[in-house]
Every structure is written in C-alpha cells, then in structure tokens.
Amino acid sequence: MTVATERVEIPLEGGGTMGGYLARPQGDATLPGVIVFMEIFGVNSHIRDVVERVAAEGYVALAPDFFHRTGPGVEYGYDEAGMAAGMKLLNALDADEMIADARAALAWLRGRADTTRKAGAMGFCIGGHMTYLTACETDVDAAASFYGGGIAAPQGMGGKPSTVSRTGKISGKILCLFGEKDALIPQDQVEKIQTALAKAGVDHEVVVYPDADHGFFCDQRATHQKAAAEDAWKRVKALFAETLS
C-alpha cells in the first residue's frame, strides 16, 4: 500500500508546538490513529520506517517528538555517541510532561478529519515506557510496549509516581514485549509488570522472547533478532486489528 508522509506540528496546551512525523495510506478514507513513540535516538529513520509500516496496515500513524523541550528534531544513530547524547535527553524527561505530550498527540490525532475516535499507541525503549504511561493516563484503545525500560522502577521520570503504580488506570488492552537477554530490564521487573497487570484485571498479554535482547525489533541495531521481531509485529497487527477496527 502506498502511503503519504509529512512533517507536522502538534499544538501544546499552554502554547508552543511539538514536531512529529505522520504517515497515512493515500486516499480519502477515515481511519483509526496510532501513535508511535520513539526511542532515545529521536524520530530517526527507523522510527519513520515503523510509522510508514503502521500506515501501510491502514492507520493514520504519528511519531511525536517528545524531546521537543531539550533537543527538538534530534536524530541519532545507534552508536556510542548517539547513545550518550540520547541518554542526556532521557534523563531530562519528566512524567508529567510526558503525559501532557501524549495527551496532546492523542487529541491532535483524533481531531483530524481523516481519523476516527479509535486510537492505539506503540513504542520502543523509552517509547515503550511512554506507551505504558499513555495507556495508564489516557483512554487509548490499545497499546503495544516494546522493551519499555523503567516501567517497574520505584519512581517515574523526574521523580514522579512510578509508572507501574498507575497500572490500575489502564482501560484499553495492552501488549508488553520483552527480551529475556535484556540486561536493562531484568526479569524481576517484567514479573512486577505482569503481577500489576493481573492484579488490576487489565486486558493484557506479556511476551518474553528467550533469545532476544534490548532493541530486538530494530533492524539497524546489533541486537536485532529477526524471529522475535517478526512475531512481535504479527502480535501488534493482531492487537490493532482487534481493537481499532
């Protein structure tokens, strides 16, 4: 399916804008929306590719730049320099601001003439965390969190209440995808997330890939794991087909 792409500016409460990358199938159909949350490397070529892949499945897909306060428009590669630069921006994030950005992106996406009220979210690394937080703090219909780091940490970003403690507020369905070899997200943290979701009665699925490491979905990273990535993509497509149509 051919998709059309564009750079957009998303208005923020209190003034200012947040940049974003949008893709949708060509034509005039009214479609569900999907937010794609980036890693610490910005809305780079990998994230733009994911946005376009989501759009090709029949959605209006948007990747917002939630580094707009401290590094608007940055794009980093998957090397040591990119990691160091991205970590500085990661450490400056604040959960309240992240929630505000998620709400702004969701409102803007739903407010378009070419979208329905149905909306999903997905994201990777800190974007996976952002996806889980968005599921807790908005009414997205579905969420797919890929190796979301820090979800089960004692505190949220900026010292705010932990993200896992917000689990009971999730109203949609959530899919959480992890790699068993991921040293950044130990299995005890995955178990805390599983326990919180089950205790809260959230419609959920948690998948741990035995041979996968952090970043397994990204084909630009050394940790790319083809089998896990393909299975995860099938699960995401099934999730959105079930909840957003």
Q: Where are the domains of the chain?
A: 3-244
Write down the pLDDT at residue 119: 98
Q: Across residues 76-80, what is the average pLDDT?
A: 96
Of the listed 125, 136, 176, 218, which one is catalytic? Answer: 125
Query: Please, what sign has the CA dihedral across residues 118, 15, 24, 67?
Result: negative
Write down the pLDDT at residue 63: 98
Instruction: Map residue 115 onto helix, strand or coil.
Output: strand
- Known catalytic residue at 125: yes
Is the pLDDT confidence value at 197 over 90?
Answer: yes
Write down the pLDDT at residue 1: 81
Strands of the chain (E only): list them.
Answer: 3-11, 17-25, 31-37, 60-64, 115-124, 142-146, 173-179, 204-209
Angle at 127 between CA 220 and CA 9, to 5 degrees: 100
- Known catalytic residue at 96: no
- Known catalytic residue at 214: yes
Is the pLDDT confidence value at 226 over 90?
Answer: yes
**Residues of the chain above pLDDT 90, percent:** 99
pLDDT digits (tens, 9 = 90+) for 202-220: 999 999 999 999 999 999 9
Question: Could you count the other beta carbons within 10 Å of the beta carbon of residue 50?
Answer: 26
Q: Across residues 37-57, what is the average pLDDT?
A: 98
CA dihedral 202, 159, 150, 41 (to 10 degrees): 120
Write down the pLDDT at residue 183: 96
Residue 38 burial (C-beta neighbours within 10 Å; 0-12, 13-18, 19+): buried
CB 218 within 8 A of CB 224: yes
Of the listed 65, 141, 182, 213, which one is catalytic? Answer: 182
pLDDT digits (tens, 9 = 90+) for 62-74: 999 999 999 999 9
Of the listed 46, 68, 129, 214, which one is catalytic? Answer: 214
Is the pLDDT confidence value at 14 over 90?
Answer: no
Q: What is the CATH number of domain 3-244?
A: 3.40.50.1820
Write down the pLDDT at residue 239: 98
CB 59 within 8 A of CB 31: yes
Is the pLDDT confidence value at 2 over 90?
Answer: yes
Grade residue 40 by pLDDT with cuts at 50, 70 and 90.
Answer: very high
CB 152 within 8 A of CB 189: yes
CA distance 157 to 233: 28
List the one residue out of 212, 18, 40, 8 whose CA is nearest residue 114: 8
Pick the more confident residue, 161 or 245. Answer: 161
Mean pLDDT of the chain: 97
Q: Across residues 9-20, what is the average pLDDT?
A: 95
Write down the pLDDT at residue 154: 96
Q: Across residues 225-237, what is the average pLDDT?
A: 98
CA distance 21 to 15: 20
CA distance 105 to 107: 6
